[in-house]
């Protein structure tokens, strides 16, 4: 039976929800629009074929924790249903698309915007870490917007569930072919060391680097080259792209892209860092007044180039064309 096959829908789901059109498909799941029969409230029903062996316990533990998450910038899980073969996760419906797409379509973008976004992201991650949850798969594709309005909230989605599956499939943690670019993965994961929630702080470092210059810190002609650089923590604040960026912002990124996870800033330290703590307003890029400091046109162009390549690559992996088919890293930008 395929993912989300009609016969897999349990009676409880049918009792509570009208399942409508497919909203999208992932590597291990299918997502359909659900309408709560009592309240009329819409949600996204993610239908996941259960993995084999011990992974099912891991998956259930993760899902249990996620049902307890309650934060304005973390996707809400309303309910979970289970059959012999499938899990049905009823999630908050997100219709605003990906954060990076929104940034590109926005009229202006500056370091101050990046800083506000970072405050929001780090606060959400600190909340998750405070309740013992690690995301483990933070990347731009998993930072979505609630809806299409200008002030839409940012939502972190798609927790480490796909890692559990990739683990199951490939027998190792790094999701090369299965889940697209591994450019956000922490060095300790690549080195197969034991790892903690600090992996999320590394990924935040990579995402903030991109938010500030438009291209990623680690890149190579192939994944092996990129892994080597990640493991060595080898990156630069390239001129001229980083020249207009403040020393505080660079210091913030530098304290996250630290190979030793015990020396890397944790989420609490990150919120106290001078770059973030000077004005703890939180909010998000789209809510407040126009940020001071003006546009950074190169930044938007670089981000647009990067975003295009990232999407191309994601589409290829979804079509079953893995990394081996292309030597181009989604990390490549106009200067790589
Ligand atoms: P992967 O398999 O790499 O995790 P993915 O993140 O795209 O890929 P899913 O999380 O299963 O996989 O999502 C598949 C698609 O379903 C998404 O691309 C999106 O179009 C849609 N989708 C997922 N979650 C939601 C949601 N909460 N609200 C609305 N649409 C969603």
- Nearest residue (CA) to ligand 1, atom 15: 24
Predicted local confidence at residue 173, as pLDDT: 42
- Residues in the chain with pLDDT < 50? 1-6, 168-180, 282-284, 287-294, 320-336
In percent, the amount of the chain with pLDDT more than 90 equals 47
Predicted local confidence at residue 252, as pLDDT: 98
Predicted local confidence at residue 244, as pLDDT: 92
If you write DSSP's letter for every residue of 257-308 in order, what string do you get?
Answer: S-SSTTTS--HHHHHHSHHHHTT-----TTTSSPPTT---HHHHHHHHHHHH
Predicted local confidence at residue 253, as pLDDT: 98
Sheet holding 86-92, edge to edge: 17-25, 29-36, 42-49, 86-92, 77-82
| Cα(276)–Cα(249) distance, integer angstroms | 9
Ligand 1 centroid from CA 22, angstroms: 10
Residues of CATH 3.30.200.20 domain(s) within the chain? 6-93
Predicted local confidence at residue 293, as pLDDT: 46
- Nearest residue (CA) to ligand 1, atom 16: 24
| Cα(288)–Cα(199) distance, integer angstroms | 30
Does residue 62 come out as left (phi exceeding 0), alpha (psi in the -120 to 50 range) or beta? alpha
Q: What CATH number matches the domain at 6-93, 1.10.287.310, 3.30.200.20, 3.40.50.300, 3.40.50.2300?
A: 3.30.200.20
Longest dimension (CA), the chain: 59
Strand bridging mode 143-145 / 154-156 = antiparallel
Ligand 1 neighbours (beta carbon < 6 A)? 23-29, 31, 44, 46, 75, 91-94, 158, 162, 179
Residues of CATH 1.10.510.10 domain(s) within the chain? 99-318
Per the annotation, the verdict on 137 as an active-site residue is: yes
Q: What CATH number matches the domain at 99-318, 1.10.10.10, 1.10.510.10, 1.10.260.40, 3.40.50.300?
A: 1.10.510.10
Predicted local confidence at residue 318, as pLDDT: 58
Question: Which residues make beta-bridge pairs with 17?
Answer: 36
With beta carbons less than 8 A apart as the criterion, state whether 256 and 270 touch: yes
Predicted local confidence at residue 166, as pLDDT: 55
């Amino acid at each position: 039976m395929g993912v989300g096959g009609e016969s897999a829908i349990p009676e409880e789901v049918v009792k509570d929800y009208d399942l409508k059109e497919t909203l999208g498909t992932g590597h291990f799941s299918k997502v359909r629009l659900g309408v709560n029969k009592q309240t009329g409230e819409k949600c996204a029903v993610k239908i996941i074929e259960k993995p084999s062996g011990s992974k099912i316990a891991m998956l259930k533990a993760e899902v249990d924790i996620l049902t307890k998450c309650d934060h304005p910038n973390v996707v809400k899980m309303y309910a979970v249903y289970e059959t012999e073969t499938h899990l049905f996760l009823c999630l908050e419906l997100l219709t605003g698309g990906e954060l990076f797409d929104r940034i590109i379509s926005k009229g202006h973008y500056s370091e101050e915007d990046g800083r506000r976004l970072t405050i929001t992201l780090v606060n959400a991650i600190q909340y998750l870490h405070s309740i013992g949850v690690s995301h483990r798969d933070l990347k731009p594709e998993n930072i979505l917007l609630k809806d299409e309005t200008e002030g839409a909230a940012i939502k972190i989605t798609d927790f480490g569930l796909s890692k559990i599956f990739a683990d199951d499939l490939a027998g190792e943690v790094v999701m090369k072919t299965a889940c697209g670019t591994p450019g956000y993965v922490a060095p300790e994961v690549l080195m197969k060391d034991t790892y903690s929630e600090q992996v999320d702080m590394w990924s935040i470092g990579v995402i903030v680097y991109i938010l500030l210059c438009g291209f990623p810190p680690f890149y190579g002609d192939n994944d092996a080259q990129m892994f080597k650089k990640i493991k060595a923590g080898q990156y630069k604040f390239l001129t001229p792209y980083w020249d207009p960026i403040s020393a505080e912002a660079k210091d913030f990124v530098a304290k996250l892209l630290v190979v030793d996870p015990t020396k890397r800033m944790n989420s609490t330290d990150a919120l106290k860092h001078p770059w973030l703590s000077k004005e703890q307003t939180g909010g998000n890029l789209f809510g407040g007044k126009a940020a001071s400091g003006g546009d950074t046109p190169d930044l938007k162009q670089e981000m647009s180039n990067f975003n295009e390549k990232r999407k191309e690559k994601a589409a290829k992996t979804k079509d079953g064309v893995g990394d081996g088919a292309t030597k181009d890293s989604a990390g490549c930008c106009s200067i790589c």
